[in-house]
Amino acid sequence: MATTLSQPAEDFAGTLAGKIAVTHRLPAKRLPDGRAMLNLACGTRMDWSWNNLDFSPYARIRRHERFARFLYRIGLMSHQRRARLQNVDPQIIRWNLRKGIPFSSETFDVVYHSHFLEHIDRESGAAFLGECYRVLRVGGILRVVVPDLRWLVLRYTEALHALESGDLSRSEAHERAIYDLFDQMVRTEVSGVMEQTTWVRTLEQRIRPDAASAGELHRWMYDKHSLGRLLTRIGFRDVCDVSASASRVAGWNEFNLDTLEDGSPYKPESLYVEALR
């Protein structure tokens, strides 16, 4: 369940309030077929033909290749992080989503974000989704991916019932289910730090914010019913839950945003919801 939030989410509603008229109006790049596609808080998972927007260190460093090579050479950037950086769109837009979405209204055919909404508190989620609505053209598709609360709870209750029936082999699954439910609500260390060498980890613990300050903690959770109600309240229509590989977006599986190269889900614990403007 560990995920890296690319956008600080504290007081999201307060910072968006009054700033919907974003002063920045960036041009949107388009696919060869003319569609404009937007991937918000993309992290390091993206298709380079889309408009990819993020606020992570990867988005900052990607435009400074010499500096990235230097960090890698002296050991401050791991091989794993270097490989992730190479996957980042060289034209990635580094942008703080608390300022709104920096495109004109009715620009995009598709707006997509994955494992981001849960990092925004419940009240602020509506303001963010309202911005998604604004930049979508009429008939455009919003695709939202979040951790599926139903899936997480079912996995916990199944393991619990097995234990109570005397099946002690499910103890590890029970512990893991509890961890997946609560870890990203309470942990203090930012993701990825524990993977680093001892001296890099010690350095990062001193210079990087904790998980709460970095916006990595979960602020709310959704199932298909609660997310559907929220989208409908904002004005979206034809809300439906789909799968990692199923979508109303033409050619969806070519982009490999929710699936791996073999077609399996990238994050199988996810809920996939689409809606039309």
The reported pLDDT for the residue numbered 252 is 98
C-alpha to C-alpha distance for 234 and 67, rounded to whole angstroms: 43
Q: Higher confidence at residue 258 or residue 2?
A: 258
Q: Are residues 177 and 105 in the same domain?
A: no
Q: Is residue 2 part of a domain?
A: no
Q: Is residue 250 part of a domain?
A: yes
Q: Is residue 5 part of a domain?
A: no
Residue type, 204: E
Flag whether pLDDT at 6 surpasses 50.
no
Q: Is residue 154 part of a domain?
A: yes
Flag whether pLDDT at 167 surpasses 70.
yes
Distances in whole angstroms, Cα of residue 249 to Cα of each of 33, 242, 264: 13, 11, 18
Helix, strand, or coil (residue 41):
coil
Q: Which long-range contacts (CB under 8 A, 24 or more apart) does 131-134 make?
A: 131/16, 131/20, 131/97, 131/100, 131/101, 132/40, 132/101, 133/234, 133/235, 133/236, 133/277, 134/20, 134/101, 134/105, 134/106
The reported pLDDT for the residue numbered 193 is 61
Distances in whole angstroms, Cα of residue 117 to Cα of each of 181, 195, 214: 16, 25, 15
Q: Are residues 169 and 55 in the same domain?
A: no
CATH of residue 223: 3.40.50.150
Q: Is residue 7 part of a domain?
A: no
Flag whether pLDDT at 95 surpasses 90.
yes
The reported pLDDT for the residue numbered 69 is 74
Whole-prediction pTM value? Answer: 0.85
Q: Are residues 159 and 119 in the same domain?
A: no
Q: Locate tokens 């990819």: which residue?
A: 52
92: nearest Cα among 102, 104, 79: 102
Q: Higher confidence at residue 19 or residue 2?
A: 19
pLDDT per residue as tens digits for the range 18-72: 444 455 689 999 999 999 999 999 999 999 999 999 998 777 887 877 877 777 6
Query: Please, which pLDDT band fits residue 194 given cuts at 50, 70 and 90?
Result: low
Q: Are residues 167 and 129 in the same domain?
A: no
* Pairing label, strands 270-276, 136-147: antiparallel
What is the span of the domain harbouring residue 223? 12-147+195-276
The tokens describing 141, both together, are 């598709």
Phi, psi for residue 123 in degrees, rounded to 5: -70, -35
Q: Are residues 163 and 94 in the same domain?
A: no
Q: Are residues 180 and 240 in the same domain?
A: no
* Pairing label, strands 93-94, 51-54: parallel
CA–CA–CA angle 59, 126, 96 (5° rounding): 20
Mean pLDDT of all residues in 117-144? 96
Strand-pair partners of 136: 108
Flag whether pLDDT at 12 surpasses 50.
no
Q: Are residues 129 and 239 in the same domain?
A: yes
Mean pLDDT of all residues in 95-123? 95
C-alpha to C-alpha distance for 277 and 28, rounded to whole angstroms: 19
61: nearest Cα among 41, 81, 34: 81
Flag whether pLDDT at 216 surpasses 90.
no
Strand-pair partners of 273: 144, 241
Task: Output the CA torsion sign for 16, 18, 23, 29.
Answer: positive
Q: Are residues 105 and 134 in the same domain?
A: yes
Flag whether pLDDT at 165 surpasses 50.
yes
- Look at the chain and report how many structural domains it folds into: 2
Q: Are residues 165 and 178 in the same domain?
A: yes
Flag whether pLDDT at 120 surpasses 70.
yes
